[in-house]
Amino acid sequence: VQLQAFGGGLVQAGGSLTLSCAGSGRFGMGWFRQAPGKEREFVASISWPGRKTDYATSVKGRFTISRDNVKSTLYLQMNSLEPEDTAVYYCAASNLQTVGSTEAHYDYWGQGTLVTVSS
């Protein structure tokens, strides 16, 4: 399984950005992020085929995770971005069709894409 995340960039606070991850397949999928000097943390997850989603408290109401199963692509729509959202964002896939925030439940990881939010 090869995952490739893209869509990161520089955005002003209050702005929006959409990340994509190609290669999602018939897996439970998730987004994680790692800010400079901090541990990697859970952002959002979505089940296969997409009925169940879960979000970290810090992004709930601002971020939306979704998937296009025809295109095998995972998305993360990020609105009302804050400087604290600055991080490298990773997509991950799990052999579990319903998966949540536990990193150990994810079997495959993509390379990260950097999101920088300026104040």
- Contact indicator for 95, 108 with CB cutoff of 8 Å: no
Distance CA(12)–CA(21), nearest Å, equals 22
57: tokens are: 């408290």
Q: Is 80 left (phi over 0), alpha (psi -120 to 50) or beta?
A: left
Residue 47 contacts residue 56 (beta carbons within 8 Å) = no
Q: Determine if the peptide bond prior to 49 is cis (ω within 30°).
A: yes
Q: For the chain, 119 residues long, give each residue's pLDDT as a single digit of tens.
A: 899 999 999 999 999 999 999 988 899 999 999 999 999 999 999 999 999 999 999 999 999 999 999 999 999 999 999 999 999 999 999 999 999 999 999 999 999 999 999 99
Q: What is the pLDDT of residue 59?
A: 98
